[in-house]
Amino acid sequence: MAPTSAPLKPTVHKSFDVEKDLVDMKGKVVIVTGGNAGIGLETVKQLLRAKTRKIYLAARNETRANEAIKALAVEGLIVPGEAEVFWHKLDLSDPKEAKASAEEFIQKETRLDVLINNAADMYSLDIGKYGVSTLHLVNHISPYVFTKTLLPLLKKTAQEPDSDVRIVNLTSMAYSQVPTPVSYKTVEDFNVKYSYRPFAGLLRYANSKLAMMLWSRHLQSQLVASESLGNGITVLIVHPGVVTSFRVKTPFLEGPINALARVLLGMVEPNVGCLTSIFAAASKQVRDERERYQADGGVYMQDAPVPGTVKKMTATATDDQLKEDLIATTEQFLKDIGL
């Protein structure tokens, strides 16, 4: 049955209890990119408490990943044979490395129930490999490639009885601040600098997260149109909240007014910020109302007033022509570099 277009209520739940409101995660396999710190690590912790069978902490730095895994073991969250965490190498600064990482994963696992694209770069100002900004490589292009390469395994899992396969893409509410008009007609549009604007670095980051939102909507629409996918695959776009770890490398939040700024921004600790990611990845509500969450290119959710609150997207984020331009430019870029 095709998803209906009935609009989701802004808030269809009054609270979210991670001990009571999650689906059974036993036997499930999950990937969390950037799961070695911040929101990613807290997401891994909650999934372990839910007894997720295998969690792959996908990150570039093996040492930091293993340190995180050791800390999880010390907390008593890892249970051999029941709830385990493994490092999986993933370098999002190069789309070719992202593809190789996904191909390696497919070789060692026979299922993938949840993919959480959590890793992000907020601060790079440089033009990375292939003449594209590192921000867009890490925040849009490489997750695009990583997910696309994993789709056959996700689809295979979705065909199993009682499947509940999800892709959770973390974005930022900052996307709404991207100056308009926005263009993704050429690769050069990925390198926009906003040098004439205050907080240009934040706007560049927001631009890359807008791209992730547009791609997420494209992906959900594609998957809904696919046949023989069983219960289908649900793509969820998540703003986890402005977490305290956000300010570590964000100078404008340090200084005399930093405390006031954090209050005004509603900053939360990572263990709170992860809750919307967990809601998207494992809540019973998403499973029970799957068709509504998949309708019209999927939904965008924030952390307030409660985790998983569905919010209306801006006209830019729902611009179908902009979405098509983005996908065409991304695909042409990948073709040009041999992917």
Better pLDDT: 124 or 331: 331
Mean pLDDT of all residues belonging to the chain: 87
Banded pLDDT at 204 (limits 50, 70, 90): very high
Tokens representing residue 113 in the block: 């129930």
**What confidence tens digit (pLDDT) does each residue in 232-245 have?**
899 999 998 655 44
**What confidence tens digit (pLDDT) does each residue in 11-31 have?**
344 567 877 889 999 999 999
Better pLDDT: 74 or 303: 74
Among 118-127, 177-186, 300-309, which range has the highest average pLDDT?
177-186
Per annotation, catalytic residue among 184, 205, 293, 300: 205
Cβ contact 290:234 at 8 Å = yes
Domains in the chain with CATH codes: 29-336 (3.40.50.720)
Q: 4-18, 89-103, 154-168 — which is least confidently predicted?
A: 4-18
Q: What's the Rg (C-alpha) of the chain?
A: 19
Better pLDDT: 265 or 88: 88
**What confidence tens digit (pLDDT) does each residue in 272-322 have?**
667 899 999 999 999 999 999 999 999 999 887 788 899 999 999 999 999
pLDDT, position 271: 63
Pairing of strands 84-89, 114-117: unpaired
Q: What is the mean pLDDT of residues 62-75?
A: 97
pLDDT, position 263: 39
Tokens 């706007």 locate to 203
Q: Would the pLDDT of 163 be above 60?
A: yes
Q: What is the dihedral of CA 253, 254, 260, 261, to 10 degrees?
A: 0
pLDDT, position 196: 86
pLDDT, position 4: 45
Q: Would the pLDDT of 264 be above 50?
A: no
| Catalytic residue flag (residue 56) | no
For the entire predicted model, the pTM comes to 0.90
Q: What is the mean pLDDT of residues 139-144?
A: 98
Banded pLDDT at 227 (limits 50, 70, 90): low
Pairing of strands 114-117, 29-33: parallel
Tokens representing residue 125 in the block: 């100002």
pLDDT, position 265: 41
Cβ contact 87:60 at 8 Å = no
- Terminal Cα distance for the chain, rounded: 34
Q: What is the mean pLDDT of residues 41-68?
A: 96
Better pLDDT: 195 or 114: 114
